[in-house]
Every structure is written in C-alpha cells, then in structure tokens.
Structure 1
Amino acid sequence: MTERFDLAVPAVRWLWKKALHEGTVLQSFAFDETHQHLYVLQLAAGGAESGDLCLNRLDYDGMLLGRMHLKGFGHGVSMGVQNAADGNVWIWTEAAAKEGYGQGVTRFRFFDGATRTGEDVAIRKPIAGSTNNQPSVCMTSKRIAIRYRLDNKPRYRVWDLDTFVARDYADPIPDLAQTGLHPDLSVPFQGYALYGDHLYQLAGTAYDGTTNPPAEHGNAYLSCLDIRTGKLVQRQRTEAGHSLDYREPEGVAVRRTGTPRLCMGLASGSAGARRFSLYYKPLSG
C-alpha cells in the first residue's frame, strides 16, 4: 500500500513555460524515471478530429530531446510509461481513434522522428463494448488503469500490469465509477494518474472573461479516489500557476523517485504557440 498525497499541501512550481514540438497544448504526460525522461502528449496541429498526436521526449529541465507522431491514436487524455524487466521502455497510449478519441490502448517504444499508425502497433480492447479507453501506469504497484466509457458513463478498471501485458483481462483488481471530479459537473475532465491504491483526477477549464476569469485564479480541482472502495477521499481546488495567461489544466502524473510528487500540467500562451508548466505537490509526512 502506498501513501496518499494530501491535496491540501501547497503546490510547488517545477517547469515554467516550456515549449513542445507542436504549438498546441499538452494533453498528458508521464515519467521514465530510470532514464530521467519526461514524455508529453499533445495533439498534432489540425489533428483533433483524426486523433493525430505528437509524443515529445524531454529531460527533467524541460529541454526537448525528440518527438514521434502517432496517426489516428486519439486525444492523448492520459498515458503511461512502463519500465520492463528487460530494460525496454514502453509507452502506453490510447489507440484506434474514432471521432478523435481512442477506442483501445496500445504500447510501443520511442524512436525519435518515427511515425506510428494503428496498422503497425498491437491494439488492445480489454473492455467489451467500451469506448474512449485511456491508460495510466503505476510502476510502484506495477498496475495499469484504463479509464473508459460504458453506456457513455466514465469508469476506471485496474489490472496487474504483467497480467494485462499477457492479455489476460478476465480478473481486474477493481472496477469503479468516475466520481467526485469537480463541484460543477459541467467542468471537463483533464486527466488522471494511478498511484498505488489511489487514482488522482484533474478537472478545469482555461481562463475566459465570464465564467472563469483570471482574477478568480481558475476553477481547477484535483481529486482522489480510493480504488479499494471506489469512494472520493479528497477534493481540493488548486490555484497553482494562477498568474499564467490562458491557464488550462492538462494532465496529471506521479514522479516516484526521491520524495514522490503528484504533478499537474498547465497550458499557457497564445493559440498556435502554447507553452506548458508543471507544478507538484510533494508527499507530506
């Protein structure tokens, strides 16, 4: 059992207004802690309807080290990194886009400058009848979570990672409803991360001049679900990065090495020239 992040702990700024290969917002991110790489997904320019993504690899200072293009994969809502026992690093993303969102998941290795399509990766559809499948990997517990929709209602299902890799989907650890995301049910989901026995969720919108003005420091909320009970255990509004222009919350991930950190992404900048910043909440106690 892993400790739970206290969402009331003040957030700390880590990376500030960094650039990605495309000028679009970040969608999600994850860490390869063995090699100290940060992977960030974003939509390719004009790729929202087709599900075309750009996967960026950066160092921990936010310097861009390379990128891949993923044709027809999805929206990039979440992702995961698996450090396999043989030393290989596998990137997990949604795949098989329909109306811009992946209807399954896949894993592949990163090769700078490469392009992947649904025809040259193995696509998994572990939940019969589901849509909008989105993965998150926890290397601490060696589990994988899939966020999915069934009858258009969002849920999570979690498996042992080795079992899932072996394509044995019959006995998930839990299956639970997405709940407690935001006090305003109309505010959109912006990412999640599995860490031990908990799922951390992010919701919020970009600044605007009416419902979410900069003067009020944003409507972003982090929340935590216990996968053993399916219950909301904490929800907290965050003003992290409130001085950013635009400030759209995008993506959440856990960095495990050293003092574990619950990291959240924030997009800023003008359309076509977006930047990203990362803030984190350290594991207290």
Structure 2
Amino acid sequence: MSEDTYDAGRLTRRRFALAGGAAAAGALATFSARTEASAAIEGGRFDLAVPSTQLLREKTPHNGTVLQSFAFDDTNKHLYVIQLMEGGIQLDGEPGPVSGADRAARGDMCVTKMSLAGAELGSMYVKGFGHGVAIGCEPVGGTAYLWTESDADPASGYGRAISRFRFAAGTVLASGSSSLVEHRPVPGSTGNQPAVDMLNKRLMLRYRLNGVPRYRLMRLADVTAGKYPAVYDIPQVGVAANETFQGFAVLGDYVYQLTGTAYTDEGGTNPPSGHGNTYVSCIDLRSGELVQRARTEAGYSLDYREPEGMAIQLTSPRRLCMGFASGASGDRKASVYYKSQ
C-alpha cells in the first residue's frame, strides 16, 4: 500500500495564494540575479505525485532528540544527521550538565555520522551554531565537510551566518572558533540555513531579511572563497502562514520545501487517523513560481511522526528524501522516505 497521496486538479484560490499569485511571483522573480545560463544546469525536476518509498525506518542517532535535518555524502556512502543536543550532557569546560532548553537557546547541536543502513559510525558536537533546519555535505575525497548555520542568535537560537567544517568524530567545535569561517552572504539577515547541490556545485541559502524568508542560490566555490554573487535570489512562496516549515533541498533550478507538524492525539487537529498534515512543494528558481504542491502520507504509521528535513541523494535515479521523527520523548528515532526522479 502506498504511503503517499497528492493534490490534483485545478489551481484553487488557496493554491493561488500559496503561490503568491502567478503574476505576482513572476514580477518578484524579475528581481532575481541571474549570472549563468540555466540551460547548462543538471538535475531536472521531481514529480511530487510519485509515491514515496522507505529508505530508513526508526534508526537511532547519537542523541535522543528529534532529528532536525540530514545530508548525504554520496561519494563515501554516508548519512549525516543533525539534532539539538539532549539535556543532561556536560561537555569539557562546562561547569555542569546543561538542560535541553538551554542547549536549544544556545544553538548547541549533535551531528551523527551513519551508514546508509542507519548504523551510527560516530558523532560530534557543535556549540552555538543554531537550530539545524538544513545542512549540506560537501565530500572532498574521503573527507566530509558539512555546511550548517552558525553564530546562533541568543534571542532565537537560529544562525546569523553559515559555516563549513570537517566532520571529526568525538570532537566539540564552538561557533566563533578561530578555525571556523563565518560566511554572511546577506548582512543583517537572520535564520540562515544552507543546503548544497553537489551535482551542480551550488549552495542554497534560506534566510530572513526584515522577517521575510527568501532563497539565495550561489556557486559553492564562490561561497567558500568568501564571495556571494547570486545566481538567483527570490522570496519564498508555497508555504501558508499557518504551516510549520520543516526543511528544504535544492537540485538544479528547483528548490523543494517540507512543512507539517507532529501527530496530536485523536481528539486534536492532526490525529494519526488522518495520516498527517505534511506537504512537499516545489519552486522554480528561474521564475520564482510555485510549480507543484502535494500532501504526503509517507511513513504515516510512525508513532508521533513529525516531518524533519529534506535532502537529495544522488543515486540513479536521483532521490528527493524526506525525514521524519518518531518514538517517545527522549528516545526519538529517525526515518527517511524518498521520491524517485
């Protein structure tokens, strides 16, 4: 039985509003900065109506908190999962154990390296980085470099910059470390979150400027060198005001978005019997328009089932992957489902 359903039919009033209006989105897209011919870009588009397939179900990252996002090392065949640190841990140099609430406020996170079968292969902690809404993996030979938000805002716990660092099991890395470069592609922005398109060697930054979420696509080499010219810079569309944003991924000229919340009890607004309120959507970066939006029931039988994170896996065919948290509080599990291209 498929664990996926989708919207079909004409463009409704609500869909038009989510898209920002076709004309409005097109007008806003003219603000996009285009510095390369999109015809040369690889990737194509995922059809969100394709049924979802299970990749991993209820695997255990290093901490017992909800996974926030994940990324694949397609060269070395590994998966990296990021979570907010669980409460009760005392790291070297700390006067005592720290609560989970304080870890979240500070932007302290745990990164777990896993096999593609979901076995833990190592972990590290990053302190003062952010919330982990999205991460990217840039493999260089046998080494994995991770892109995450950094310089967590004390007022929100979300990053004001992005950084690249080498995964090193058993270590602790602090934001502001002399070994860490903090990139600020959009000065004054908040909620900085990176995703990487390794097929085209590009980095997508989701950020907020004056409270408004936007996407900025840049060449990976430029960002690494401290240069930030935009291939595209567009406003986010396709997410309703009452939806909870849970992650994004980028491939070629398309960005994919994930929204939804955890199950309530049967008497609540998101009961398990309804199979969830998770939606995936797709924006064409060239026009700034929402081109598809679909409800997914992937993993609907999971207990708790909260959508968390998206990633592209460069298999053949390519996969658009969605993460889900499940299980009891303090012992959350991670599951990944995908749509093939």
1:161 equivalent among 213, 220, 230:
220
* Aligned counterpart, 1:172: 230
* Aligned counterpart, 2:176: 119
Instruction: Quote how far apart the aligned CAs of 1:259 are.
Output: 1.3
Unaligned runs of 5+ in 2: 1-40, 87-99
Instruction: Quote how far apart the aligned CAs of 1:186 are.
Output: 1.1
Aligned residues: 279
1:271 and 2:329 correspond: yes
**Equivalent pair of 2:76/2:142 in contact (CA under 8 Å):** no
Relative distance call for 1:166 and 1:150 in structure 2 (3 A) is same
Structure 2 counterpart of 1:127, which letter?
V
Displaced runs of 4+ in structure 1, greater than 3 A? none
Structure 1 counterpart of 2:46, which letter?
F
Structure 1 counterpart of 2:147, which letter?
W
Distance 2:274 2:142 in 1: 46
* Aligned counterpart, 1:73: 129
Structure 2 counterpart of 1:152, which letter?
G
Q: Percent identity?
A: 51
The structure carrying a bigger strand percent of its residues is 1
Distance 2:334 2:219 in 1: 32
* Aligned counterpart, 2:29: none
What SS is found at the alignment partner of 2:223?
A: helix
Instruction: Quote how far apart the aligned CAs of 1:14 are.
Output: 1.2
Distance 1:6 1:258 in 2: 16
Instruction: Quote how far apart the aligned CAs of 1:3 are.
Output: 1.2
1:89 equivalent among 144, 148, 151:
144
Distance 2:172 2:220 in 1: 26
* Aligned counterpart, 1:35: 76
Matches within 5 A, 1:150-229: 150-169=209-228, 171-181=229-239, 184-209=240-265, 210-229=268-287
Distance 1:83 1:44 in 2: 25
* Aligned counterpart, 2:26: none
Deviation per CA, 1:196-215, whole angstroms, max 9, x where unpaired? 11001000000003111111
1:106 equivalent among 150, 163, 173:
163
Distance 2:168 2:261 in 1: 33
What SS is found at the alignment partner of 1:48?
A: helix
Instruction: Quote how far apart the aligned CAs of 1:87 are.
Output: 5.6
Select the structure of larger CA radius of gyration. Answer: 2
* Aligned counterpart, 2:61: 20
Deviation per CA, 1:174-224, whole angstroms, max 9, x where unpaired? 10111102xx42111000011111001000000003111111000000000
Distance 1:273 1:118 in 2: 27
Structure 2 counterpart of 1:93, which letter?
T
Backbone CA RMSD of aligned residues: 1.0
Structure 1 counterpart of 2:123, which letter?
R
Matches within 5 A, 1:226-241: 226-241=284-299
Distance 2:294 2:111 in 1: 30
What SS is found at the alignment partner of 2:276?
A: coil
